[in-house]
Amino acid sequence: MKLAIFMRDPTLFLRNEYEDLARKELDWKLRVLQGPSTPWCIVDRKKVLMFCSNNYLGLSNHPKLKEASIKAVQSHGAGSGSVRPIAGNMDLHVELEKRLARFKHAEASLTFQTGFAANSGLIPQLVEEGDVIISDELNHGSIIDGVRLARAERAVYKHTNMHDLERVLNEIERHSPAYRRILLITDGVFSMDGDIAPLDEIAKLCAEHGAMVYVDDAHGEGVLGEGGRGIVSHFKLTRDKVHIEMGTFSKAFGVVGGHISGSQDLVNFAYNKSRTWLLSGSHPPAVAAACIAAIDVLENEPEHVEKLWENTKYFKKSMKDLGFDIGNSETPITPIMVGESTVAKKLSSRLFEEGVFALPIVYPMVALNKARIRTIMNAALTREDLDFAIEAFTKIGKELKII
Pseudo-torsion of CA 57, 59, 62, 67, nearest 10°?
A: 150
Whether the CB-CB separation of 105 and 229 falls below 8 Å is answered with: yes
Which of 251, 266, 294 has its CA nearest to residue 103?
A: 294
State how far the Cα of 8 lies from the Cα of 148, in Å rounded to an integer.
33
Q: Which of 104, 251, 307, 345 is catalytic?
A: 251
Going from the C-alpha of 202 to that of each of 42, 123, 165, the distances in angstroms are: 43, 18, 8
Backbone angles phi, psi at 373, to 5 degrees: -95, 125
Instruction: Report d(CA 233, CA 196) in Å as an integer.
Output: 13
The alpha carbon dihedral of 379, 385, 387, 391 has a sign of: negative
Cα gap 67→103, rounded to integer Å: 21
Contact 104, 222 (CB under 8 A): no
CB 335 within 8 A of CB 275: no
219 tagged catalytic = yes
3-state secondary structure of 108: strand
DSSP three-state, residue 78: coil
Are the C-beta atoms of 188 and 196 separated by less than 8 Å? yes
Using the Cα atoms of residue 91, residue 92, residue 93 and residue 95 in order, give the sign of their dihedral. Answer: positive
Single out the catalytic residue among 93, 104, 219, 283.
219
Candidate list 191, 250, 261, 329, residue with the active-site label: 191
Known catalytic membership, residue 175: no
The question of whether 37 is a catalytic residue gets the answer no
- Cα separation, 138 vs 151, whole angstroms: 21
CA distance 240 to 244: 10
Instruction: Please check whether residue 363 is in contact with residue 25, taking contact to mean a CB–CB distance below 8 angstroms.
Output: no
Do residues 302 and 337 touch, judged by C-beta distance below 8 A?
A: no
Among 17, 277, 323, which Cα is nearest to 122's?
277
d(CA 176, CA 265): 30
Residues 6+ apart with CB under 8 A from 67: 293
Question: Could you list the active site residues?
Answer: 191, 219, 251
